[in-house]
Chain A
């Protein structure tokens, strides 16, 4: 158990809809990262928050947004969903803000768009 909690485990929805994925980091970790994993692309970095502030951004679509709350949990919002958004979405956390320390991953949310 990594200590990172993601909910829900599965989401099934339709094109055009909006969903929210939630992540609680490990106790004491200030950074939260979001990744997308699809079969052909592997793990792709989306965005990082550190202590409530956006720290780094990857190839995150404009339809996607995230935030980190004062209690350090984070939410990833996906809107105007398309079939290609079907993937596993992982959250990870680490103590500091730099990339040279281990990130610990949750078990992900599997998003299926019908």
Chain B
């Protein structure tokens, strides 16, 4: 069964303290990995799609990277407004084709 595991579950940083979030997956033949940001009471907001190992995408203080077994979301010099839950997801080409399998997320808190 395809699985997506995110770590850590929660991460507390001081403003300006860079760190990385991890997303590991077990799927046969990855055809994309997605990163989303979710604020409390809101829907997930699309951030990045990565399609092949070695690919990198950047947006402001965020950079997503992909290997054959995991993805990292690097946060450089975070600000309090980066506080949110970050979700990763992979497409399901198994039993429920068409959906995304989501990890349970990393809740990031950035203190000023």
The distance in angstroms between the C-alpha atoms of A6 and B34, with both chains bound, is: 22
Q: What's the nearest-Cβ distance from chain A to residue B43, in Å?
A: 3
Interface size class of A (residues with CB under 8 A): 20 to 34
B97 at the interface (CB under 8 A from A): yes
Other-chain contact of B91, A31, A55, A59, A99 (Cβ < 8 Å): A99
| Number of residue pairs A-B, CB distance < 8 angstroms | 75
Once the chains bind, are A100 and B32 in contact (CB under 8 Å)? yes
Interface size class of B (residues with CB under 8 A): 20 to 34
Other-chain contact of A56, B32, B46, B99, B105 (Cβ < 8 Å): B99
A2 at the interface (CB under 8 A from B): yes
A 42-75 to B, binary, CB cutoff 8 A, 1 in contact else 0: 1101001010000111110000000000000000
Other-chain contact of A42, B93, B96, B105 (Cβ < 8 Å): B105
